Amino acid sequence: MKPLHWITRPLALVALLLPVAAQSATYTLAPRNYAELQGCPDATAEPGCPVYTTAMGAGGQFTMATPLPSGQTTAVTPTAFTFSDGVHTYDENNAWLTFFNVTTDASGAVTSFFLQARTWLTGSPPHAVGDRFATLYMTQAQVSATNNVVCYFIPAGKTAQACTESTDSWDKVHNASATNTPGTFTITTVPGAPASTTAVGGDGAVRVGWMPPASDGGSPLTGYAASAWTLGDTRVGGCTAAANETGCVISGLDNGTPYVLEARAVNAQGEGPAQAAPGPVTPSWIAFPATAPGTTGTTSVTIRGGQPGCAITGTPQFSGTGIPPGAPANADFPVGAFSFNASGCKQDTLTVSITYPQPLADNVQLMKFGPRTALAPTSEWFPAPGANISPNRMTVTYTVADNGPGDSDFAEGAIADPFAPMALPLPPATPASIPTLSEWGLALLSLLAAAFGLRAARRHQV
């Protein structure tokens, strides 16, 4: 079987330094409910002092540009974070982390942590003494939330985020806490690389295939992304697929140009690392020389339009014998018949172009053999739909569609296509008749002749 992209190319693999997608990681802490509450006795005087309940808890998540290093204690600076104490939300837009340290084991799992986040409740930037804020404190063993704290003192040279709390305000705050409630962050990162990535070329296109990655990163896959790169590391095209699909087609590529193909799995965290397909792969159409009966020289054939994976089966051939029956008795096949078989061409329309070394005679008609209409039960010779011949009568072009007129193989994706320029005798020439005059025409001609004769006689008398 020769693939429709059949072309000579090096078998060696080409290694490229393809761009690596950022592999962010999100760490999530499930909420832990409060067990102890300290009320806000002056709630009527402090309407900004909500009441925590034991039905509430504290938890949240943070995101790093890359996963935390393994086996280390790290002062964490997340690219994004969102924590909640059940009443307030603390995130990178409205809150700040006064400290956040995380310890991981050799596998990168979080084993211990402690963090404190704050968010302003009153005042406006740059904030000042007297403004109020809420504080959330969490470790792997306890959580604590404090609401309605007053900023009492801002050290010299520091921002209001470094203010100390006023002990005089504690009769107006509300505390909630829980101890001996273990909890830790679980990591969610980008998925692993797809497995068994493949690439098959077609006419100006490549189909990239894959199998699911070994790891989804702790988050369900949302899809896949494939890319085509030139040997100069320039991305020139791509395609996407749903999470339950195992391939997609990158179109718009240049025939005859080698490409490196890759695939990535995608989840809520983003694209995972790339897995390159063996290659490079060069898109192309089928083109081959042949010898047609009754000609001197080389006949050139091209077949275009097949999707990646559409393949010629067996050997396309010209033949002056074994031509399908049913042609008119006086028909001739001056250059024989051309036929080929293809598979993997589901719903494809192939365009066939044949250039003969000598012009075809004027009485040649372009004919196909097969069902005259799609899936008709009988086969016959009929004019090839949409076929045309070049002005110099050396190149013919026609199309054949999977399960369309002329496709003799009814299996889906399989095409069997006999075609032939058929010569039929020209109709005999009809002798040209000599025009004659009607009786009135003869009478008029006689009168004109008499008139000219009379005029001539008078001139002679003068």
Domains and CATH numbers, the chain: 25-187 (no CATH), 190-276 (2.60.40.10), 286-423 (no CATH)
Per-residue pLDDT for 140 more than 90?
Answer: yes
Residues 6+ apart with CB under 8 A from 154: 128, 129, 160, 162, 163
**pLDDT tens column, 232-245:** 889 999 999 999 99
Q: What whole-number distance in Å separates Cα of residue 34 and Cα of residue 390?
A: 85
Q: What is the mean pLDDT of residues 394-401?
A: 95
Per-residue pLDDT for 281 more than 60?
Answer: yes
* Two structure tokens written together for 61: 């998540």
Residues 6+ apart with CB under 8 A from 334: 294, 360, 361, 364, 421, 423
* Two structure tokens written together for 118: 């704050």
Q: What whole-number distance in Å separates Cα of residue 250 and Cα of residue 399?
A: 23
> What single-letter amino acid sits at 265?
A
Q: What is the pLDDT of residue 158?
A: 94
Q: What whole-number distance in Å separates Cα of residue 339 and Cα of residue 324?
A: 11
Confidence tier at 5 by pLDDT (50, 70, 90): very low
Could you count the other beta carbons within 10 Å of the beta carbon of residue 154? Answer: 17
Q: What whole-number distance in Å separates Cα of residue 87 and Cα of residue 136?
A: 11
Question: Which tops the pLDDT comparison, 189 or 20?
Answer: 189
Could you count the other beta carbons within 10 Å of the beta carbon of residue 131? Answer: 18
Q: What is the pLDDT of residue 337?
A: 94
Could you count the other beta carbons within 10 Å of the beta carbon of residue 156? Answer: 4
Q: What is the mean pLDDT of residues 304-328?
A: 89
Question: Which tops the pLDDT comparison, 275 or 171?
Answer: 275
Q: What whole-number distance in Å separates Cα of residue 373 and Cα of residue 189?
A: 55
Name the CA dihedral angle for 447, 451, 457, 462, rounded to a multiple of 10 degrees: 160
Q: What whole-number distance in Å separates Cα of residue 7 and Cα of residue 280?
A: 12
Q: What is the pLDDT of residue 59?
A: 95
Nearest to 63 by CA among 268, 229, 245, 234: 268
Question: Which tops the pLDDT comparison, 208 or 45?
Answer: 208
Q: How many residues in total does the chain contain?
A: 462
Q: What is the pLDDT of residue 105?
A: 94
CB 266 within 8 A of CB 189: no
Q: Which residues pair with 365 in a beta bridge?
A: 422
Is the Cα dihedral 40, 46, 52, 53 positive or negative? Answer: positive
Q: What is the pLDDT of residue 131?
A: 93
Residues 6+ apart with CB under 8 A from 460: none
CB 208 within 8 A of CB 241: no
How far, CA to CA in Å, does 260 sit from each of 13, 246, 280, 439? 9, 18, 5, 88
- The answer to which of 41-55, 195-209, 338-352, 399-413 has the lowest mean pLDDT is 41-55
**pLDDT tens column, 288-301:** 999 999 999 999 99
Q: What is the pLDDT of residue 151?
A: 92
Per-residue pLDDT for 250 more than 70?
Answer: yes
CB 335 within 8 A of CB 359: no
Q: Average pLDDT over the chain, rounded to whole?
A: 86
**pLDDT tens column, 191-211:** 999 999 999 999 999 999 999
Confidence tier at 425 by pLDDT (50, 70, 90): confident
Per-residue pLDDT for 433 more than 80?
Answer: no
How far, CA to CA in Å, does 445 sit from each of 10, 202, 334, 453? 88, 77, 55, 12
Confidence tier at 385 by pLDDT (50, 70, 90): confident
Nearest to 26 by CA among 164, 191, 144, 154: 191
Per-residue pLDDT for 1 more than 50?
Answer: no
Q: What is the pLDDT of residue 424?
A: 85
* Two structure tokens written together for 21: 């997608």
Confidence tier at 175 by pLDDT (50, 70, 90): confident
Nearest to 24 by CA among 215, 229, 268: 268
Q: What whole-number distance in Å separates Cα of residue 59 and Cα of residue 258?
A: 51
* Two structure tokens written together for 226: 């494939």
Q: Is beta strand 380-383 parallel, antiparallel or unpaired with respect to 395-401? A: unpaired
**pLDDT tens column, 68-113:** 999 999 999 999 999 999 999 999 999 999 999 999 999 899 999 9
- The answer to which of 146-155, 232-241, 243-252, 395-404 has the lowest mean pLDDT is 146-155
Q: What is the mean pLDDT of residues 300-327?
A: 90
